[in-house]
Amino acid sequence: MKTGTLKQILLITDGCSNQGESPIAMAALAREYGITVNVIGVVKHDTIDEKGLEEIEGIANAGGGISQVVYAADLSRTVQMVTRKAMTQTLQGVVNKELRQILGDMKTIEDIPPEKRGEIMEVVDELGETAALEVLILVDTSASMKHKLPTVKEALLDLSLSLSARTGKNRFSLFVFPGKKKDVEKLLDWSPKLEALTSIFPKLVIGGITPTGPAIREATAYFKNTPILRGNLSDDDEQYFEDTV
Amino acid sequence: MMMNSTLKTLSKPRPGTVITGKWHKNSYRVLRELGSGANGIVYLAQAGGAKVALKISGGTSVASEVNVLKSFAKVRGSISGPSLIDVDDWVRPEGATPFYVMEYIEGPNLLDFIRKNGRAWAEVLILQLLKDLHVLHEHGWVFGDLKPENLIVTGSPPRIRCIDVGGTTVKGRAIKEFTQSYDRGYWELGTRRAEPSYDLFSAAMIMIHIHYGKALVKKEGGIKQLKEIMKEKPELVKFSPVLLKALQGWYHSAEEMRLDMLKTINGMAGITAKPAVHPGNAPMSRREYRKKKRKFEWLETILIVKIVSMIYILYLFGQ
């Protein structure tokens, strides 16, 4: 049985890339592979420069995703909200495409009277609850992110908790950039939960450069090259249920 | 400094702006902002002579929330949410923004009311809330984002009402929206799956907040920190058997918790400190039977929706 899987890259960063390809172009490339790129900009106070903000919005726009700039303290709430909103947005896009084919001249959900939108939303909500989701988390570990990493860890564990309440299956993977030797380094392979993070995060080496573009490119490639192991996934079902009830 | 990606590109309506719907042509004059959340901004507005609350949202949440309010309307009189007045699009040169209009529930929020009128009201209002929650749960919903800011005390005699149904979720799904201090997931005391016990945890945390004087911040997960805090205030000591049960998810229904609270207020003993026997193991009461039946009907609906969407996805991938 084949069902659609929602694929997302979640980029957590605090500013501008300074090495390699344009991250906006790489986000646009990811989108071509059916991957949505969401960006969360973590700021300390009110301080984020115009250029950093532009890049954050640009990446999300090109990647068909959502961007949000927050203080570290708001991160948990934001991470889960952005992920969910992006799912809804993607699903709505799929449903809109379908509607266009059925309704012809009526283009999107906005062209349908508000009273009728409820039923469509029901379907979108239902799909959001049950669809399989793959999130590749891409964390900026350049020097300025150092003191924010404990908060990032908390937020990601919280995201795992939120998503595991869904009926649909989840898979997470975690990459950091810059890596020890390469632009980007894999910390966690596809796994249904993010708990393994607790032991990985303290070991992070903080680097100086910010190769955001190459990181997105690598992440995209990782989605492509990983065969989706549906057989294995369904085995996790029982365990999931026990864990979450 | 949170910014909604769609809302931030559209300018906010200023006081005095007249919003006219594209479909129904009703006009609303914006008076002031009442509050903003993750999913949109709520304004006080005037329509004819009446004051209404108007929620503007950049995302898809309008249609979802309207669905919730519509199903509340079917059980009117028993659910304390606001009633729905209008749904429409506000068209500007930048694009169309969906909005909906609901009854304006006027009054202070729960904490302000209690600060002004005394803590004696806390028990009364929580009892009212539990009664409302019970009805809501019976109809297959879980409120989700239950917090003092979302509870308004209105009218005379004072009555508690819930506003903001942004977190309201169909039973069994993942909670749509929540606030850390009142979220059992954050406290590591349960999942974020929508079930009655999720709301009851929040209700217990609200009670603690009222008497403790502020929202709690987690030091360590689990029940220990909450137990310690409850020892500090006599009002909380009194209710601690009930609160502990609620915090640990041992109540299966809001009604159970309400009855235990009534017992405590009357000074009656006999609150069992153990989780109740799971309904699955106990002989079924009439009400549980009805609940099961309703649940089955729900499952049936969900199954149909699932099959339809599956066929549809298969079709998509077939292309």
Supply the pLDDT for residue A244.
35
Return the top range by mean pLDDT from A143-147, B87-91, B198-202. Answer: B198-202
Lowest mean pLDDT among A10-24, A78-92, B116-130, B187-201: A78-92
Q: How far is A41 from chain B (nearest CA, A)?
A: 10
Q: Which of B88, B132, B145, B199 is catalytic?
A: B145
Distance from CA of B156 to the nearest CA of A (A): 34
Interface test with A, best of B64, B170, B306 (most A CBs within 10 A): B64
**Beta strand residue intervals within chain A, DSSP E:** 5-13, 35-43, 64-71, 132-140, 170-177, 185-191
Spatial distance between the Cα atoms of B246 and B253, rounded to a whole number of angstroms: 10
Spatial CB neighbours of B297, under 8 Å, sequence gap ≥ 6: none
- Compute how many other C-beta atoms are within 10 angstroms of the C-beta atom of residue A204: 18
Q: Say what the pLDDT of residue B267 is.
A: 84
- The proportion of chain B whose per-residue pLDDT surpasses 70, expressed as a percent, equals 86
CATH of B18-103, one of 3.40.50.2000, 3.30.200.20, 3.40.50.2300, 3.30.465.10: 3.30.200.20
Q: Give the per-residue pLDDT at B275.
A: 67
Which is it for strands A35-43 and A170-177: parallel, antiparallel or unpaired?
unpaired
| Rg of chain B, C-alpha, whole Å | 21
Kindly tell me if the per-residue pLDDT of B51 is higher than 70.
yes
The average pLDDT across B199-212 equals: 97
Angle between helices B234-247 and B254-265 (to 10 degrees): 160
What CATH fold (topology level) applies to the domain B110-265? Transferase(Phosphotransferase); domain 1 (1.10.510)
Q: Which residues in chain A are contacts of B66 at CB distance < 8 A?
A: 114, 117-118
Binned at pLDDT 50, 70 and 90, residue B319 comes out as low
Distance CA A2, CA A18 (A): 41
Which of B88, B177, B309 is facing A114, going by the closest CB pair? B88
d(CA B222, CA B207): 18
- Predicted confidence (pLDDT) per residue in A38-95, tens digit: 999 988 765 667 888 899 999 999 999 999 888 887 888 888 888 888 888 888 777 7
Q: What is the structure's pLDDT at A75? A: 87
CA atoms of A70 and A40, how far apart (whole Å): 7
Q: Is the dihedral of CA A204, A210, A211, A215 positive or negative?
A: positive
Q: Which of A44, A67, A68 best tests the B interface by mutation, with the highest count of B CBs <10 A?
A: A68
Under 8 Å CB-to-CB from A7, ≥6 apart: which residues? Answer: A33, A34, A35, A36, A134, A136, A223
Of B64, B193, B317, the CB nearest to A244: B193
Of the given ranges (A104-118, A130-144, B157-171), which has the lowest mean pLDDT? A104-118
Taking alpha carbons only, the member of B227, B187, B182, B235 closest to residue B211 is B235
Question: Which residues make Cβ contacts (< 8 Å) with residue A120, sequence separation at least 6?
Answer: A95, A99, A109, A112, B63
* Residue B57, min C-alpha distance to chain A (Å): 13
Nearest CB partner across the interface for B89, out of A4, A60, A110:
A110
Average pLDDT over chain B reads 87
Round the average pLDDT of chain A to a whole number and report it: 82
Residue A245: its chain B contacts at CB < 8 A? 191, 193
Closest residue, chain B, to A119 (C-alpha): B67
The CA R_g of chain A, rounded to the nearest whole Å, is 18
Contact by Cβ (8 Å): B84, B77: no
Q: Is pLDDT larger for residue B106 or for residue A143?
A: B106
Residue B4, pLDDT above cutoff 70? no
CA distances from B99 to A6, A90, B222, B235 (A): 28, 21, 40, 42
The candidate with the shortest Cα–Cα distance to A158, out of A84, A220, A80, A63, is A80
Q: How many CB pairs under 8 A join A and B?
A: 115
**What is the distance in angstroms between the Cα of A181 and the nearest Cα belonging to chain B?**
35
pLDDT tens digits along B249-290: 999 999 999 999 999 998 876 677 666 555 444 444 445 455
Looking at mean pLDDT, say which of A1-10, A58-67, B2-11 comes out highest.
A58-67
Q: Do A244 and B98 count as a contact with CB atoms less than 8 A apart?
A: no
How far is Cα of residue A40 from the mean position of the Cα atoms in its chain?
9
Three-class secondary structure of residue B179 per DSSP: coil
Q: Do A129 and B173 touch (CB under 8 A)?
A: yes
B145 tagged catalytic: yes
pLDDT the model gives residue A92:
78
End-to-end CA distance of chain A: 26
CA-CA distance, A22 to A211, in Å (whole number)? 9
By CA distance, what is B195's nearest residue in A? A245
- Identify whether the C-beta of residue B273 lies closer than 8 Å to the C-beta of residue B245: yes
- pLDDT band with cut points at 50, 70 and 90 for residue B125: very high
Structure tokens at B279: 């309904």
ipTM higher than threshold 0.85: no
Mean pLDDT, rounded, for B16-24? 95
Ranges of each domain in chain B: 18-103, 110-265
| B31-35, B271-275, B292-296: the lowest-pLDDT one | B292-296
The answer to whether residue A239 scores a pLDDT higher than 50 is no
Handedness of CA A17, A19, A22, A26 (dihedral sign): negative
B5-38 b/e with 16+ CB inside 10 Å = b? bbbeebeebeeeeebebeeeeeebbbbeebbbbb
Domains of chain A listed by start with CATH number? 5-84+133-244 (3.40.50.410)
Q: Measuring CA to CA, which residue among A35, A38, A5, A208 is closest to residue A138?
A: A38
B297-306: per-residue pLDDT in tens? 777 777 888 8
Decide: A158 and B186 in contact? Cβ < 8 Å.
Answer: yes
Q: Is B77 left (phi over 0), alpha (psi -120 to 50) or beta?
A: left
What is the pLDDT confidence band of residue A229, given thresholds at 50, 70 and 90?
Answer: very low
Residue given tokens 């979640």 in the structure block: A10
